[in-house]
Amino acid sequence: MKKIIVLIALMAMTVAQAQQGRKGEKGERMKNVNSQEMATMQSKKMTLALDLSDKQEKEIFQILVNQAENRKANKMSKEDHQKLTDEQKKAKKIAVMDEKIAAKRAMKKILNENQYAKWEKMIQKRMGKRSKKGNKKRRKRD
């Protein structure tokens, strides 16, 4: 009986480690993608999801390229981020929020009402997944 329990525990640990490895692989692959490639993938996904015209796809591609370049330019290591003062952190957050607002306004100009509503639902769904992941990580730390 003990052998069966130990065997089951080992199998469960092996499966958990394999799943962790797969999650990490995606992050590693995405580090090697440049801004143009990232924007291309995202704009193609949006074209499929929102049925965009060629003109809309090109305009959205430009927005996504700018966002990707800004993210890369503003990326900091954890150590550098910890060195920032509270005021600098607040300014950085405000700048990020300003960029998001500008992108949202640009998307509203490019997309029609139905597309825009669908796009907002996509964003909310993605944000919901992120918050759930963050909550799981916080629970593990506690």
Count how many domains the chain has: 1
10 assigned to some structural domain = no
Nearest to 119 by CA among 110, 88, 5, 74: 110
- Residue type for 44, please? K
Q: What is the pLDDT of residues 21-42, one digit of tens each?
A: 655 555 566 667 788 888 888 8
| 46 inside domain | yes
Residues of the chain with pLDDT under 50: none
Q: Is 8 within the bounds of a domain? A: no
Give the pLDDT confidence score for residue 20 in this predicted structure. Answer: 66
Tokens matching residue 120: 């907002």
User: If you write DSSP's letter for every residue of 91-104 in order, what string do you get?
Assistant: HHHHHHHHHHHHHH
Residue 101 is predicted with a pLDDT of 92
Domain with 96, as residue range(s), is 33-141
This prediction has a pTM of: 0.64
Which pLDDT score, from 0 to 100, does residue 106 have?
92
- Residue 25 forms part of a structural domain: no
Per-residue pLDDT tens over the stretch 62-79? 998 888 888 887 777 777
- The answer to the question of residue 116 being in a domain is yes
